[in-house]
Structure 1
């Protein structure tokens, strides 16, 4: 039986391990933590609507259900040419003809970033956001600033959606608590038109949502650094804040920077549309580790990541069987999400034909809740996977 090593226990790695195992391959998954974290539903942790346990799935349960081997041990070094992986414990993994790199990405570092919390960072930060928000609510007043940054070397490395979601969820939560009028909520970002990837129509609707919820904006100015009590900008302005949430843009994973693999200017692994890497036979890169091909508006999203993972399983098995057929992720390249607001949502879609945002009051919130339930239990094999999901 052919052996496959999957590096990473996030959306990309877990999906790859599941689908590779379906091909009757000998699969080993290596992860730095013992649970699969459902980031899209972690947006409700800061408002107490969910806990970390609610949005986590133990990896040993997934391994047992699907039949892959599991190693919980962070990757310390990856030597691509030798197909050699050294783990933090000192354990060395060799002899795998196929390796799927799904290590995710690192975050761009700004001065004073330690004064912020991120919904897209370590899971512990989401819980810290909840605790900090509850402290302010007990005081019945506060200044809250939430935003995201960009990577000028790669426009796909931006995580804007979760910032909008947490911001609108906090607005809804403060209203439920009856203290919204005592809080200043501000959205900030360095680009002129944050959220432009969603299309012009979506931008117009976002502006309407900001005005309806009395959320202020500070956009179009470079962020110089963060301080304990605020955000400082290149124009000399300081946005004072008692609680700052900031989603830093992504950059290449530090392990991959010294792996010998070909990298983009932003540090992501350069692949073709089949997630193969030129000059490195049997090694594939998927998800946030891979440099995403496509138009300027492209974005690293979970559904594209899972398509990559499923395609790689298909492509590896066909290669083993000497079948000349491969699947590309390019036809699935779009922006697709349900942007939750706590009391509703908006359906967002973007393709080469343009973008749209459709309001979904009340029902949209429960649709996203149902997606989280579906994600968890379909991966555990307790309910069937829907076609294309």
Structure 2
């Protein structure tokens, strides 16, 4: 059989894992990856930039060696639309034709809250974490507000875990520097039970940890707006000299230029095999997709890896004319780091495990980062 053309969109966890899984499963087909840059930016490590534990250079991995090993052609471009039911990808560098397509371009933060320009959104990238670092270094005292919100139409389209890590990491950093008494930390969230996706025990632990660290909370009130020096909610307002805020996520802007089916929250609809309904040989993995499953299904690298494995196998089977039956396990696995310790949270549809803060878990998270990035160096 002649080689068929596979196109993967994106260069984050879902996209790169798809490439690895395709090759690991014996696919010899031509693979083209489309993304604006041939680099992996390891965003989970940005939680350590404010303290100096990580730098930009340590978190960026050039992908040219990986692409060479995997025999992948990289097209440096942004996706603008699709044509011919997904068989043609329209990009800023021209058309890329394919026989099968995997969409893994991530999500987009909802920037509709009035005054959101006054906040730093940490997961927007390395530059945002560097901005937090620089602001902390320049501050002599003040109030630091840390919070997140979700997509009201898409329960899973939220990334709250890193905000707990920035919160506890900043607290630990200020204590190490002997400056904690000059700052007030405030955590805010429209839910009375922030981090509910982690499980009830985790919520109780997180709130208890905030109390232990003398971190104030402002919970259960809908956001109204942000100002340069305050956070305003329906339940009141409070002063803030530095605001870190993670809004909910929705789909990429280029989705609007396609006929791809969308979820109520703006993500791409997907079935249990990571297929986009109504579009033959079109798959979605990671933050771009809305998948069937429990409302606590995480938007994290681990989940994207699991979905990538399923999508790769189904793509191979689909091109071969075989039934596509491979699903993915829904699993939340994270270590909530606090700079010196880490709290392990693990959740499946059968179990929910929470370990107390351990120094071992902090080092485990660092070790995982090293092993994960080694795949792409």
TM-score category by the smaller chain?
over 0.9
For 1:258 and 1:306, the matched residues in 2 are separated by: 27
SS in 2 for 1:20: helix
SS in 1 for 2:355: strand
Once structures 1 and 2 are overlaid, which stretch shifts more, 349-358 or 280-289? 349-358
2:209 corresponds in structure 1 to 209
For 2:81 and 2:320, the matched residues in 1 are separated by: 31
> 1:145: Cα distance to partner?
0.8
CA RMSD of aligned residues (A): 1.5
TM-score if structure 1 supplies the norm length?
Answer: 0.92
Q: How many residues align?
A: 372
> 1:325: Cα distance to partner?
5.2
| 1:325–1:259 CA distance, 2 compared to 1 (3 A) | closer
1:120 correspondence with 2:123: yes
2:92 corresponds in structure 1 to 88
Q: Deviations over 1:180-209 (max 9, x none)?
A: 111101111111211111222112211221
SS in 2 for 1:175: helix
Q: Deviations over 1:44-95 (max 9, x none)?
A: 1122210122112112232123221111211122236252222224x1222x
For 1:304 and 1:248, the matched residues in 2 are separated by: 20
1:135 correspondence with 2:132: no
8 A Cα contact 1:257 1:267, kept in partner: no
1:292 corresponds in structure 2 to 291
> 1:160: Cα distance to partner?
0.8
1:385 corresponds in structure 2 to none
8 A Cα contact 1:200 1:355, kept in partner: no
Once structures 1 and 2 are overlaid, which stretch shifts more, 18-27 or 98-107? 18-27
> 1:229: Cα distance to partner?
1.3
2:277 corresponds in structure 1 to 278
Runs of 4+ in 1 over 4 A off after TM superposition: none
Of 5, 19, 22, the residue aligned with 2:7 is 5
For 1:118 and 1:321, the matched residues in 2 are separated by: 43
Of 347, 352, 357, the residue aligned with 1:355 is 352
For 1:79 and 1:359, the matched residues in 2 are separated by: 51
For 1:292 and 1:132, the matched residues in 2 are separated by: 38
1:16 corresponds in structure 2 to 18
Aligned 1:307-326 pairs, distance under 5 A: 307-324=306-323, 326=325
> 1:122: Cα distance to partner?
3.1
8 A Cα contact 1:6 1:101, kept in partner: yes
TM-score if structure 2 supplies the norm length?
Answer: 0.95
1:100 corresponds in structure 2 to 102
For 2:306 and 2:86, the matched residues in 1 are separated by: 28
8 A Cα contact 1:4 1:27, kept in partner: yes
> 1:215: Cα distance to partner?
0.7
8 A Cα contact 2:330 2:349, kept in partner: no
